[in-house]
Homo-oligomer: A and B are copies of this chain.
Amino acid sequence: MEQRISLVTLGVADIARARTFYERLGWRGQEAEETVFFQAGGLALVLWGRDKLAEDAGVADAGGGFGGLSLAQNVRSRAEVDAILAAAAAAGATLTRPARETFYGGYAGCFTDPDGHVWEIAHNPGFPLADDGTLTVPDFDAG
């Protein structure tokens, strides 16, 4: 199995509400068959009904709560962290952790989207970010 991810699909209660939230953050997607696809770098972030997602995957959905998974976007400055958290709050997110210094020398805060999916917005000087946003895991042994 190659070491890559093609899609990250968020199960949502209301496609229109979820799409509006991400569009308020400046994202632009396309909808087909009650599914919204956002090109996100080399993969797609997808919004789909949570019930359909569970059924399609063959798993039971206890319904709600933290799913033991988070998404992160690394940005280029602390000011950008603050700006995105403010924009997310304005777009309807819940800020679950204010931005603060992290143990690894960075600066990050977290929010949940309208369906409870966790996002961390982080400035981490140790993880190189290319101009196109591509993130490279550094060689830990070289540090």
Q: Are B7 and A56 in contact (CB under 8 A)?
A: no
A16: CB under 8 A from chain B? Answer: no
A117 vs B84: C-alpha distance in the bound complex, in angstroms? Answer: 28
Q: Are B71 and A110 in contact (CB under 8 A)?
A: no
A11 vs B67: C-alpha distance in the bound complex, in angstroms? Answer: 8
Q: Are A1 and B62 in contact (CB under 8 A)?
A: no
Q: For A43, what are the chain B residues with a Cβ–Cβ distance below 8 Å?
A: 5, 41, 43, 134-135
Q: Are B68 and A115 in contact (CB under 8 A)?
A: yes
A89: CB under 8 A from chain B? Answer: no
21 contacts between A and B (CB under 8 A): A1-B87, A1-B88, A2-B26, A3-B27, A3-B45, A4-B41, A5-B43, A5-B45, A6-B74, A7-B71, A7-B74, A8-B69, A30-B137, A32-B140, A42-B132, A42-B135, A44-B127, A53-B68, A60-B65, A61-B68, A69-B69
